[in-house]
Structure 1
Amino acid sequence: MSSYLVGQVRPSQLLWTYGPGALIDLPNLSVLTMGLDRWNPDRCPPIEEARLLAAVRRVLGPQVERLRMPPFLREDGVDPMSAEGKIGVPVRPFPRWLRCVKCGLLAEYDSGLFDIKANPYRPEQTHFVHSNCEKGKNADAVPARFLLACRNGHLDDFPWHWFVHGGPSECKGTLRFFERGASLQTENLWVKCDTCDAARSLVHAFGREAQDNLPACRGRHPHLNQYEECGEDPRTILLGATNGWFPITLSVLAIPLERDQLGQLILDGWEYFSDAESAEEIKVIVKTLVKSGSLPGIDKWDHRDIWKAVEDRKEGRSGTTVISEGDIKDPEWDVLTSDDPPTDWPHFLSSKTETPEGYRDRLASVLLLERLREVNALIGYTRVEAPEESTDPDERPPMADLSRNKPDWIPASEVHGEGIFIRFDENAVAEWEKQKAVQARSQKLEAGHRGWRNARGLDPDEGYPGIRYAMLHTFAHLLIRELALECGYNAASIRERIYAKSDSESPMAGVLLYTAAADSDGTLGGLVELGKPENLGRLIEQALDRATVCSSDPLCSEHNPGVDRSLHSAACHACTFVAETSCERGNRYLDRALLVKTFEVSDTAFFAGNGGSNG
């Protein structure tokens, strides 16, 4: 099939929603994003972030050389027939089976029964038609909305012939899709063979009956054009279902790792400078970088000084030569809690401010981040079941590959924004953790954690983040909800980053709330303004006040996670939950009783005696 535009999505959506192996349900047809080996990396601008690249290499291997943005058209109004107009991500029609909306004919798109009507100037109007439909010429043909998927990440067309005939059959008659009854429930959706009159309702493709009516998984990866052995039972999913593709991503905040700005720029852009042999080569490289905007800030330095810094790094005389293999958040914590945090860097601009009055016995410091950058990388995906929080591959569904061979680059995105970092007083948190009532509350939450993991066949003794994390996480959610009411940002554009560790040598207790949106929503300055002490103290007090009583009380406050094997205690959509794109744990490990007094508990509140109705 010839190549032409069939639709548009945001580049960031190719990480979170429509990455390799995912289905894109366009207005008139459905397509599948192909693997990275089919992408043109020359059209994908590189992103420099050394810490994230090191983290990706630990998962995918040392052959990963670059992080790259998905390709995108730089200008509107480009001729779609030109080379520039064909920039994009390769896709293919999927599922292969189409249904005529008038006669119900069900067949593959390449069977010769359907034709594609392309419109390069209005790509959203591209669609398939049943040219010889007996009920109307050029009747629209739409994708058959049933697919097969399995836990190993495989995806396949629904086996229509097998399903209708109850297994392998020599009958190759044409199939018809039709409806019986007034509703569109699955028991009213039928498929019939025109030749042998065999018919079956799609209700038999779901639930316990599905194992008897569906073939074994063929191990198909349509985005890679390959098959592999698979022992999982396939299950029927609907086109557009949220369990069809779950991304596995890594993210870091761009923080300075060098003592001087030039050294940081060299570190960020080392891929550009590593092969340089002279100052004159550096001069050419810098001109290219300035023109492309790939390394902001490099134009402030003379090419001779840059060459000297490059020489120092090659000979091991620079401050930072190896990116730490430790936890991604450890270096971020060190920078955020530094006595002298960076105040004027290309991607990191911060300023200290006073801790709100009335909370100085609980909060140690507040840092306003007037400029920050978050970089995300897509490393794989799962189907049917979402990946768990653990990074242990044994504790999550198998991660499907993005390309046929080990990739030498992976898609990434960067977003810019602002934020507020709140550091909790370590002594106050440690004393609170030792309280018997708090430990009893922790046991109740851990009971839910163990039951939740047991139900999913995971080790119940692993993965519990601790009561410190639950308290900090709940505080972040309450403050996100309050900030969204005041700052004018979309609530889903405010994200959290929790720093929680009870290690006696290097404890952490802090939350970072930041805006990191792919568009201008995230750079308006409103969040930093609300981080100032006269505003932040009022917002914390309002957040704690709202949390004392939930509209779902007493059910919310009395919720026992050990009974229903859930991962939250006194928390629900009415009081604590936020958009899942904002939460790093999918609205899990939350309990407002750890912060304020509730109907059920009054002795576990960290902020008891600080502001609001708890004063």
Structure 2
Amino acid sequence: MSTHLVGQVRPSQLLWTYGPGALIDLPNLSVITMGLDRWDINRCPPVEEARLLAAVSRLLGPQVERLRTPPFLIDEGVNPMSAEGKIGVPVRPFPRWLRCVKCGLLGEFDSGLFNIKPNPYRPEQTHFVHANCEKGTKSDAVPARFLLACRNGHLDDFPWHWFVHSGPSECRGTLRFFERGASLQTENLWVKCDSCGVSRSLVHAFGKEAQENLPACRGRHPHLDSYDHSCSEAPRAVLLGATNSWFPVTLSVLAIPLEKNHLSQLVLDGWEYFSDVESPDEVRVIVKTLSKSGGLPGIEQYEPLDIWQAIQEKNNGNSQTDIISEVDIKIPEWDVLTMASPPSDFPQFLSRKTETPTAYKDKIDSVLLLERLREVNALIGYTRVEAPEESLNEEERPPMANLSRGRPTWVPAGEVYGEGIFIKFQEEEVENWAKRIAVHGRDQKLRKGHQGWRNTRGLNPEEGYPSIRYAMLHTFAHLLIRELALECGYNAASIRERIYASDDPNSRMAGVLLYTAAADSDGTLGGLVELGKPENLERLITQALTRATICSSDPLCSEHNPGDDRSLHSASCHACSLVPETSCERGNRYLDRALLVRTFECQDAAFFEGGRNSYG
């Protein structure tokens, strides 16, 4: 099988946009990323993060031994014909069907009707041509832009012969795609058989007619070369490039000190360097190399014999990290963020306590400025057609498709560095607020919307509701993100949230972390931390609450009842509360600004009582 470079994507895109099973719509052709079993593991450097690896292993099985970064070219301008120039992930043309742009001929790319024209020096110009086109020489061939997908994660070529002949047929004539009318609406798109002359409009492949005009799902996973004939989901026609063709299922953690001993933590973080060490002399050589490259900041401060002892303790199972068993990966983060003396010298977690804004001392317990943090993300699967439900509970997980044939021994991961602001709320104030009658009423409205939303998706309506506490903290994070984006120099899509909300008596949490991160080793530039200082944060919270009291979509926004339309938000909309999808950990769900400030419709459920009158 021939191999050609066809384009470039960033390593982070292989986690969030173009992972295994996802389509990459390039300028001249479309390809699908193959499964992890096809990737060159030697080109995928390991990422050390014990808590995330433990969480992934609980979900995918104990055979998962590593987190690895996707392969990437180290140097620009390498010879594309050399082995170094072909580092990347394997892909395959998909859909298999191509269309000649001049004569409309439909055919599979390996049918002999089309030839590929690679360009190793300009890979984005690699394309297919219809060499024997009757309307011109070497006419370009482009992917046929219709596919089949189902909720179980299957993806297949559009059944062109089946569709045009209205079911199984002995006719195997060539097919042609053509347009009628001035617009490109589906009723004007037609496919015709050259042999029998029958033609059909693609409007019959969508809507209510689709189930009658499309075959059953074949359970195809083109990235794994496998079929699951037991699939009972009805397939639906989707367009190439549609955003609902691939949704990543990811897990993420913040790198926090797991060891009380600083040296033990450094050995854990750099275990990829020390795992095979057999003597103090080898440690000395490795430390010297790391000191020059900056691969493990802080390790040069310790003697090789002390490092060797820490390595032996790790090998003997004396490290605290060997007994990590938290189901909720946020609990250890909360414990570190709320420590009386949080770490201030850990290389990947530099924090500094600051004063609480004076106007909000009765509501906010403390503020922590994170001058440096590290976030590690892992891709564990994907869904199609519908976005995944956010839950680590095995019973609540969606029909998640596999990344490889068989059970994976590793998963793709990425690490980013940045800065952030952590705000801890007064637990007693949150508890008292949650007991109000008006808050209980808002809770019931959101819960009814949640139940209706899950009913329509065949999920247990009594499970998965995050609590009214979560909705209040989540809305606060959104309002503050929108305000921060106006002043900190980062756009709203670059600021992320991490909500810590739990009313479990054994692990009560009420706080939000707003942070921004970048893939380079230096992270970000300090603009967010600067706004976390008390004089700035007080002004920003005040402005956020003031803006939230009146929405440009009021009174419709404030009067929205999630139980009526089975939605997952109450008094919230794009004009007042929603943020980009990259910023929100819940896909803009479970939001209600009436839980924070007074609105036209609700006056008694505001956590920050008075709203505009008090702070405006």
TM-score with structure 2 length normalisation?
0.97
Q: How far did 1:397 drift?
A: 3.1
1:149-548 matches, within 5 Å, as 149-229=149-229, 230-286=231-287, 294-518=295-519, 523-548=524-549
Matched residue type, 2:299: I
> For 2:203 and 2:278, how far apart are their aligned partners in 1?
68
Question: What is the SS of the residue equivalent to 2:52?
Answer: helix
Q: 1:331 to 1:562 in 2, by over 3 A?
A: same
Question: What is the SS of the residue equivalent to 2:512?
Answer: strand
Question: What is the SS of the residue equivalent to 2:422?
Answer: strand
Question: What is the SS of the residue equivalent to 1:120?
Answer: coil
Q: How far did 1:299 drift?
A: 3.4
Q: How far did 1:286 drift?
A: 4.0
Matched residue type, 2:596: L
> For 1:138 and 1:291, how far apart are their aligned partners in 2?
55
Question: What is the SS of the residue equivalent to 2:486?
Answer: helix
> For 2:151 and 2:292, how far apart are their aligned partners in 1?
46
Cα deviation code 1:490-547 (max 9, x no counterpart) = 2100000000011223211000000023359960110000000010000000000000
Q: 1:521 to 1:607 in 2, by over 3 A?
A: farther
Asked if the contact 2:501–2:508 (Cα under 8 Å) also holds between the matched residues in 1, the reply is yes
Question: What is the SS of the residue equivalent to 1:366?
Answer: strand
> 1:32 maps to which residue?
32
Asked if the contact 1:378–1:411 (Cα under 8 Å) also holds between the matched residues in 2, the reply is yes
> For 2:275 and 2:102, how far apart are their aligned partners in 1?
62
Q: 1:500 to 1:156 in 2, by over 3 A?
A: same
> For 1:519 and 1:161, how far apart are their aligned partners in 2?
49
> For 1:486 and 1:252, how far apart are their aligned partners in 2?
27
Question: What is the SS of the residue equivalent to 2:576?
Answer: coil
> For 1:121 and 1:319, how far apart are their aligned partners in 2?
51
Matched residue type, 1:515: T
> For 2:552 and 2:522, how far apart are their aligned partners in 1?
30
Matched residue type, 2:42: D
C-alpha RMSD of the superposition: 1.7
Matched residue type, 1:40: D
> For 1:395 and 1:201, how far apart are their aligned partners in 2?
40
Q: How far did 1:260 drift?
A: 2.3
Question: What is the SS of the residue equivalent to 1:53?
Answer: helix
Question: What is the SS of the residue equivalent to 1:349?
Answer: strand
Q: 1:281 to 1:612 in 2, by over 3 A?
A: farther
Q: How far did 1:296 drift?
A: 3.9
> For 1:344 and 1:2, how far apart are their aligned partners in 2?
52
Asked if the contact 1:447–1:561 (Cα under 8 Å) also holds between the matched residues in 2, the reply is yes
> For 2:325 and 2:295, how far apart are their aligned partners in 1?
24
Asked if the contact 2:546–2:611 (Cα under 8 Å) also holds between the matched residues in 1, the reply is no
Matched residue type, 2:420: G
Question: What is the SS of the residue equivalent to 2:322?
Answer: coil
Cα deviation code 1:33-81 (max 9, x no counterpart) = 0001110111111111010000010011111111111111111111111
> For 2:294 and 2:19, how far apart are their aligned partners in 1?
25
Q: 1:605 to 1:102 in 2, by over 3 A?
A: same
Question: What are structure 2's unaligned runs of at least 5 residues?
Answer: none
1:50-69 matches, within 5 Å, as 50-69=50-69
Q: 1:313 to 1:396 in 2, by over 3 A?
A: closer
Asked if the contact 2:597–2:611 (Cα under 8 Å) also holds between the matched residues in 1, the reply is no
Q: How far did 1:169 drift?
A: 1.5
> For 2:334 and 2:421, how far apart are their aligned partners in 1?
13
Q: 1:132 to 1:452 in 2, by over 3 A?
A: same
Give the number of equivalent residue pairs. 615
Q: 1:305 to 1:254 in 2, by over 3 A?
A: same
> For 2:34 and 2:253, how far apart are their aligned partners in 1?
26
Asked if the contact 1:31–1:94 (Cα under 8 Å) also holds between the matched residues in 2, the reply is yes
Asked if the contact 1:205–1:214 (Cα under 8 Å) also holds between the matched residues in 2, the reply is yes
Percent identity between the two aligned chains = 78
Cα deviation code 1:319-349 (max 9, x no counterpart) = 4432233310000000000001000111110
Q: How far did 1:564 drift?
A: 1.0
Question: What are structure 1's unaligned runs of at least 5 residues?
Answer: none
Q: How far did 1:290 drift?
A: 5.6
Matched residue type, 1:15: L
Asked if the contact 1:371–1:416 (Cα under 8 Å) also holds between the matched residues in 2, the reply is yes
Moved more, 279-288 or 205-214: 279-288
> For 1:122 and 1:462, how far apart are their aligned partners in 2?
51
Asked if the contact 1:493–1:521 (Cα under 8 Å) also holds between the matched residues in 2, the reply is no
> For 1:231 and 1:562, how far apart are their aligned partners in 2?
30
Cα deviation code 1:290-331 (max 9, x no counterpart) = 677654433333321110112223345444432233310000
Q: 1:179 to 1:318 in 2, by over 3 A?
A: closer
